[in-house]
Amino acid sequence: MTPGIETPDHRGRTGLHLTGRDLDRNPDVVVRDVEVLSNDWYVLRATTFDRRGSDGVWRTERRETYDRGDGATILLYDADRRTVLLTRQFRFPVYVNGHPDGMLLETAAGLLDEDDPVAAIRRETVEETGVEIGPVQHVFDVFMSPGSVTERLHFFAAPYRSEDIEGTQHGVASEGEDIEIVELDIDRARAAIGTEIVDAKAIMLLQWALLDGPFA
């Protein structure tokens, strides 16, 4: 009996090999097999499928997908003071891929887990910044790395006030989080895109804020 397949794995999951087997929205794609390669925390699968190309010929392909669930992110802004509230935390994947110290400036974000996107981003905002937000604005939903990662990220924005900020260090200690909040002038943030700010979700939300959002 394989954990995560017939019996629960350490996160209580079963049937991880069934994901994608029933897909039928695209008549040019027929899923043949799903193999679970890893399910230590997130799930790495290899899916074999037949795909009919633009030439009408069917070919068999095999693709790996990394399933970490969907997530949400938010840009906190103060339109009157022309500031944004970002987070900074250590990210090993960027550190191992050339970032100077792995300390990444980001917008607050997290996985949905069992929550809807709005509830999830309210939870993550409090955990990562300490700010209790009011109404949130839905900006867009985006697949961030569609070549291999299944995650759909829900983007939001909400105002904050200087008096909402309490302390500079936040995060859930039991989850290994050690998060610093960083307040930047919007013009300073714009100038930092591509240098100090290299987080895709932060860049996308900053550009939205400058083109169509509170700083347009």
Annotated binding site for Mg(2+): 109, 124, 128, 177
Beta pairing class for 71-78 and 29-38: unpaired
Residues 6+ apart with CB under 8 A from 164: 130, 131, 132
CB proximity list for 40: less than 8 A, separation 6 or greater: none
Strand partners, 63: 47
Q: Token digits for 102? A: 């792995």
DSSP-derived 3-state class of residue 43: strand
Q: Which helix (H) or strand (E) holds 210?
A: helix 200-211
Compute the chain's Rg from CA coordinates: 20
Output the known binding site. 109, 124, 128, 177
User: Angle CA(128)–CA(145)–CA(88) in degrees, nearest 5?
Assistant: 25
A 10 A CB-CB count for 120 gives 23
The single-letter code of the amino acid at 154 is H
Whether the CB-CB separation of 110 and 128 falls below 8 Å is answered with yes
Are the beta carbons of 115 and 124 closer than 8 angstroms?
Answer: no
Both tokens of 40, joined, read 């230590």
